[in-house]
Structure 1
Amino acid sequence: MRTLVPTDDQQHIADAARELMQGLWPVERLRDWALHTDATRWASLAEFGAFGIGLPEPDGGLGLSCVEEALVMRECGRALVPPRAVATLLATQLAAARGDTALRDRLLSGAQPVGLLHAAGLHAAGPRLDGRWQALDANGCELLLAWSRAGCALVERSALVLRTGQCIDETLAVESCEATAVPTLMWLPAEAAPLSLRADVLISALLVGAAEAARDMAADYARQREAFGQPIGAFQGVKHACADTAVRAEAAWCQTLVAAIGLRDAADKANNANMADVAADIAAARWLAGDAAQANAENNVQIHGGIGFSAEALPHRFVKRAVALRALGLVGRDLRGDLLKAPAAGDCIDRIPATHDNNPLETQT
């Protein structure tokens, strides 16, 4: 029988990750956001083993699964750790699958962080890249991870002509490019390993963590702030809003666990997991996690009143990060379609109406 209750070992991993985040990655660091990627903090993730959780032990990893990865990324999401953490984790698995032990070891050690590269139009990752692509949190990264339903690829930054933009979340760099038959450093099709599905699970976990942190911040403030001689949490409108944030976060986390467990079991041929069902569970996780992160962040700002919009306050950080993370890998993708039916064999390119050109990551000028 499937259970969503973590084992003792899994809970120890989650607790250790939370302790690390509280010690070295407090959200308060973003008051001075230019320091959010300092080398000491980044090295702490490698020392923790975050990039090798799901790697087999012979490859230098911990030999665990995407469930444990999701537990750690959830804690990273609570601390608003830069999303390059997910890209580096996935790139480590890609390098190991392609037999590049030197690159695998550099990635495991944290010496070579990897940025995210996702399609900004009707394009799929492949041995060569074409069309419009967008890099997120890739400043200072020599390698970028591109992914779509077709598979995952590592691309050298030097092979792209990147144009700097302005991200809605100013703590993250955003760049865009037009690619024409750009060769990739290495490519792994989805048939060989479902890394693109793993990316969805881990992004969902980041979003859930952000939703939970916004929930906790809102509830803590509602207990402390007083109006008319009593805590504002005593008023129906505020306590109902806080209850809604709790329900959204819990539903999103449960669905993310269902998706992670399904993907883990699909890797075990003896389980005979239905990949169409797994893909639908993962799409549901992305939907619920994205909705929870953004709605909870907005509620947090509202409960904080006017100071929630202030650059000196932290609630607005969760709104911006939720918008940025929610868009990753979903430009041109219809989650409703993923939920209602499995994609046809060979259907790797995500489709949207030709007139759609919105990009929620980048601010409009």
Structure 2
Amino acid sequence: MDILMTDEQEMVRDSARTFLEGECSPALVRKMEADPLGYDKEIWSQAAELGWQGISLPEQYGGSGLPLTYLGIILQEVGRALAPIPLLSSAAAALTLAEAGSEGQRKVILPSVADGSLILTWAVSEADVRCRPGTIGMTAEADGSEFVLNGNKTFVDNFAAADKCLVLCRTARAGDGRHGLSLFLVDTDASGISETPLIPTAKDRQSRVSFDGVRVSKDNLVGRLNEGWPVAERMLDRATALLCAQMMGAARKDAELAIEYAKMREAFGQPIGAFQSIQHMCADMIIWIDGGDLLTFEALWKMDQGLPCRVEVSQAKSFCNEKALASARNAQIIHGGIGFMMELDLHLWYRRIASWTMRLGTTYEHRARIAEALLDHPGEVVLGRPLPDSEPVAAEELRKTA
């Protein structure tokens, strides 16, 4: 993997940063926190003109066909500016349709995603929010030419803004929980759906969504019946790596704000940046953020190359969860008491970083997945599959303590 950006990647980054610096102010971010949909339609429309929504979608469906690393670069800038747009949730679902959807689904859905006229999201988590097949209890029962969906999903990103949602359901019973899961593309305004807005720390848009007798055509099945977990797992891995990119973009901006404050704020007749303790905190922030970037883009690069990447995704998320939040805390400490006031713009970055660390797997969940890899293939780093529930007791003990 080449860790340095190409000229083209730098151009994409600089273009995105210039655009968002001009269009997305902290005042707009605060305004969107109170908006029912939670996103700015003007920025979303302009982002479509720049090709962001379709940057990694196939060219035959209106996309640019660029590697996932380019989407990661865009999401870094989205995180840096805290841009209130549903790019991550929509892109992750669209990439799943590009991979596993039928030709008809791709032809109808993806061009509209690429031009910004249609927004997607996904719904996987339930009462047990761990991203494991055994936690899925929502059912989809066949009834003639339709499936009937019943159950609840939690922490669904941007559901109120989305037009369609990829929903993971159990369509058959299975001993190990992995078989018998299927993905369906569901209209968010379908009869029988009710949405309850949640209020996360980030104050962005997440929802609890109930499905009560929701009917969808069998044509809305994404992938093969009862074999939806591998597709959903790849979707979650992509979304996790892209979330890391967004998180580290926010962390870098947060650190830059603190470093500039340390240069300007004076105490005892000199800038506080002259004190060694502050210098060490600033150095730690940059070391952590650079490390998170490297792990994140290694995971995205492996996805682009078609290589096993589950361990790399978990390495990135577990590291970014801890270090992005630690960096944000350092930034607040450097600002002193004012750093903990909601009125200070710095708090916008802290709240989002803190909230994003809890999504798509906590540090402990991802450490457990890495530990499972080490147990499954001692001495190796690459994981091809998670340990099934039937593995020896030692495996279960490792899961509990990892």
Which deviates more, 180-189 or 90-99? 180-189
Equivalent residue, structure 2, for 1:165? 198
Which deviates more, 94-103 or 339-348? 339-348
Distance of aligned partners of 1:28 and 1:246 in 2 relative to their CA distance in 1, 3 Å threshold: farther
Give matches, 1:274-353, under 5 Å.
275=308, 278-330=309-361, 334-340=365-371, 341=373, 342=383, 344=385
Flag structure 2 segments of 5+ consecutive residues without an equivalent: 129-134, 141-148, 170-177, 374-382, 390-395
In 2, the alpha carbon distance for the partners of 1:151 and 1:80 equals: 33
Equivalent residue, structure 2, for 1:269? none
Equivalent residue, structure 2, for 1:19? 18
Q: CA deviation at 1:167?
A: 2.0
Identity of aligned residues (%): 24
Flag structure 1 segments of 5+ consecutive residues without an equivalent: 267-272, 357-365
Give matches, 1:1-365, under 5 Å.
2-33=1-32, 34=34, 37-82=39-84, 84-97=86-99, 98=101, 99=103, 100=105, 101-115=107-121, 117-120=123-126, 121=128, 122-123=135-136, 130-146=151-167, 154-159=185-190, 160-170=193-203, 172-179=204-211, 185-188=220-223, 189=228, 191=230, 194-266=234-306, 273=307, 275=308, 278-330=309-361, 334-340=365-371, 341=373, 342=383, 344=385
Paired amino acid for 2:201: I
Let me know the Cα RMSD of the aligned residues.
3.2
Paired amino acid for 1:90: A
Q: Report if the CA contact (8 A) 1:126-1:187 is conserved.
A: no
Structure 1 counterpart SS, 2:156: strand
Q: CA deviation at 1:331?
A: 6.7
Q: CA deviation at 1:52?
A: 1.1
**Offset from partner CA, 1:181-239 (integer Å, 9 cap, x none):** 85664534465683322111111101111111111111011111111111111112211
In 2, the alpha carbon distance for the partners of 1:116 and 1:211 equals: 25
Paired amino acid for 2:310: A
Structure 2 counterpart SS, 1:162: strand
**Offset from partner CA, 1:94-125 (integer Å, 9 cap, x none):** 34442322322221121222345341412289
Distance of aligned partners of 1:182 and 1:242 in 2 relative to their CA distance in 1, 3 Å threshold: farther
Paired amino acid for 2:222: W
Paired amino acid for 1:296: S
Q: CA deviation at 1:256?
A: 0.6
In 2, the alpha carbon distance for the partners of 1:227 and 1:284 equals: 40
- Between structure 1 and structure 2, the one with the greater Rg is 2
Q: Report if the CA contact (8 A) 1:133-1:179 is conserved.
A: no
**Offset from partner CA, 1:8-58 (integer Å, 9 cap, x none):** 112211221111221212345334444762211111211111111111222
**Relative contact order, CA 8 A, sep 6+: which one is greater?**
1
Distance of aligned partners of 1:67 and 1:213 in 2 relative to their CA distance in 1, 3 Å threshold: same
Equivalent residue, structure 1, for 2:175? none
Distance of aligned partners of 1:124 and 1:15 in 2 relative to their CA distance in 1, 3 Å threshold: farther
In 1, the alpha carbon distance for the partners of 2:113 and 2:46 equals: 13
Structure 2 length as normaliser, TM-score?
0.75
Paired amino acid for 2:284: D
In 1, the alpha carbon distance for the partners of 2:343 and 2:93 equals: 35
